[in-house]
Amino acid sequence: MNTTVMPHLYHSPAEVSHALFLFRCLLLVGFTVLVWDGFLMFTRELKAIRKMDNLAYRCAFIWNRVGVLFSLSPYLIGLFSPRPLTDKICQNLEISASILYVVADSLGNLSAVVTVFLLWNRRPGTLALLLSGAVVAFCCNIVLMVLNSVYGFTEIKWIPDAGIDSCYVVDYSRYIIGIYSVQLCFDVYAAILVLINAMDMPRTVNTQILGALRSQGGWLLLATLVLRLLNLLLAILHWTTFWLLGIIVIEPLISILNARLIAQTCEHEPAERSPSPEGQDIVYMIELTTDIKVDSPRPPYDRYARRSRRVKSDMC
């Protein structure tokens, strides 16, 4: 086998074969878990989608699920191709997967925007802060992914040896560190806003901060932050192809956590009242009558009645 295309971490085709076997198993596990959890959460997520009054939020929530599946499809082709591929095809598959990954993750950030926005009682200022952070993260990821596509995907090869027959990343891409760092920063930003909201609640509601964080999905946010940090560590440690774990394994888990977080938030949000016009009139009349009884115990002044009494006295 041509040793020039082998990564520095592995020294024999047998080790490369074992590594590819591991990645194939992990890819199937991530794909299966994502699909199975989608079936389990279908009814709950459908109710959450119906509660959203904005089409953009609904699309972001749906793409958070479907987009990750699409981003895994090029890896399925590259690792389980029934026919030999070329180096160029492997590079195109990786570029396609990276673009889909960035788009899916950015819309996953929009799902986090919706979650925090609902927790902050739909405050416009909070929405503006979150959207600005999501746009900045998306632009940074696009720039880094373009640089990665131009300079980082030249070392993806097709290895035709028996027992391998797969696309393989034979070099390390430093731009992945930047992409994972941007994702971690945005999730930390969203988690800080959730923490501030939870710390503000005991001043108006008699509740504990930990209880408020639990009800607002704080543990799901913490798990997401841990997974993001793991992504960054795998990329920093220069474990050649191990940064791919962030896409084929960790990203499906983050997508599942985001879906559960927004579903939980929609379930705890109070339903908006939409009374009929007749109901509004009835409530208004009751409030008006109550105000008259409490604030004005005496009957209203009638100048015509007083005038008639004066005329009677003159006549007498």
**Contacting residues for 236 by C-beta, under 8 A, at least 6 apart:** 177
Q: Is residue 223's pLDDT more than 80? A: yes
Q: Is residue 230's pLDDT more than 70? A: yes
- Report the pLDDT averaged over residues 124-136: 80
191 with 183: CB under 8 angstroms? no
The pLDDT assigned to 50 comes to 81
Q: Is residue 6's pLDDT more than 80? A: no
The pLDDT assigned to 61 comes to 78
Does residue 83 sit in helix, strand or coil?
A: coil
Q: What is the pLDDT of residues 85-107, one digit of tens each?
A: 888 888 888 888 888 888 888 87
Q: Rounded distance, CA 173 to CA 80, Å?
A: 23
- Structural domains of the chain in order of their starting residue, each with its CATH number: 3-268 (1.20.1070), 277-315 (no CATH)
Task: Using a pLDDT cut of 90, give the percent of the chain over it.
Answer: 0
- Report the pLDDT averaged over residues 105-116: 76
Q: What is the pLDDT of residues 42-95, one digit of tens each?
A: 888 888 778 777 777 777 778 778 888 888 888 888 888 878 888 888 888 888
The pLDDT assigned to 201 comes to 57
- Report the pLDDT averaged over residues 263-275: 59
Element (H, E) at 111: helix 87-119
**Contacting residues for 137 by C-beta, under 8 A, at least 6 apart:** 106, 109, 182, 183, 185, 186
The pLDDT assigned to 128 comes to 81
